[in-house]
Amino acid sequence: MDDGEGLRTNIVANIASYLHPTSTVPMGADSDPTAVVDAWGKVRGIESLRIADASIIPDIPSVATNVTTIMVAERIAAKLASSQEHSESQDSSHQFRRAGERHVAA
């Protein structure tokens, strides 16, 4: 390719991009009208639905999204696991009380 136009035509014909979509369902404060989920991935207005992927990152990160997405997902998963353990602990103590048994904390 000796001319600039031929080079330009070749580049345009062969260009490709690889995108990491983010920020399509952004998280934010309750006061943020553009936020779809809260800081723990809970979808506003829908009970028991959480999102834990790159779509909830509020701004496009300037780094690869893989590590950021893993961190967000692991943090939400840890919060959910902690909440589940707490809920199960309370449920079992209520069962003991209903059955007339004394609950002893471990």
* Catalytic position from the list 20, 86, 94, 103: 20
Residue 30 pLDDT: 92
Query: How many domains would you assign to the chain?
Result: 1
Range of the domain at 94: 21-98
Residue 103 lies in a domain: no
- Look up 20 and say whether it is catalytic: yes
DSSP annotation string for the chain: --SHHHHHHHHHHH---------SS-B--TT-TT--B-TT-BBTTSTT-B--SGGG-SS--SS-HHHHHHHHHHHHHHHHHHHHHHHHHHHHHHHHHHTTPPP---
Residue 34 lies in a domain: yes
Residue 7 lies in a domain: no
Residue 10 lies in a domain: no
Residue 37 lies in a domain: yes
Q: What is the pLDDT along the chain (106 residues), one digit of tens a residue?
A: 567 898 999 888 988 776 778 999 999 999 999 999 999 999 999 999 999 999 999 998 888 899 999 999 999 999 999 988 777 766 655 554 444 444 444 4
